Amino acid sequence: MKVDWERVAELRDEIGAEALAEVVGLFLEEADEVIARLGTDAGAKVLEADLHFLKGAALNLGFVEFAALCQDGERRAATGDIAVDLGAVRTSYAASKLALLEGMKRDLAA
């Protein structure tokens, strides 16, 4: 499961559909920036911080698989291990983003 739709619905109920759209837009903008720079060149601490940010935001929006990959990478980086599968992280993010946007579009059309 790429997106926990119960979490998305819960968030929509808490803050409203308009605010949810704003939150999603901000998250995707910030996440796109982090994903674009995500790498091991800056070292384990920067990688750990970037993955921590992505994990937290992903959990709030129900990106289950993506959050788990970020958490695993964050743990590795915290120990100095930068052998994180960033390709899998990027792929999961792209798939989760697409699923969320398509799901939100369907909700608006309904």
- Report how far residue 106's alpha carbon sits from residue 83's, in angstroms, rounded to the nearest whole number: 38
- Report how far residue 33's alpha carbon sits from residue 67's, in angstroms, rounded to the nearest whole number: 17
* Segment 28-47 mean pLDDT: 94
- What is the per-residue DSSP string for 55-68? HHHHHHHT-HHHHH
Q: 69, 89 in Cβ contact below 8 A?
A: yes
- Reported in sequence order, the residue ranges of 29-92 that DSSP labels E, i.e. its strands, are none
Q: Any idea where the domains of the chain sit in the sequence?
A: 5-109
Backbone angles phi, psi at 2, to 5 degrees: -80, -40
Q: How far is CA 55 from CA 34, 69, 74, 109, in A?
A: 11, 8, 9, 29
Q: Is the dihedral of CA 109, 9, 21, 56 positive or negative?
A: negative
Q: What is the pTM of this model?
A: 0.91
* Segment 23-49 mean pLDDT: 94
18-32 pLDDT, tens per residue?
A: 999 999 999 999 999
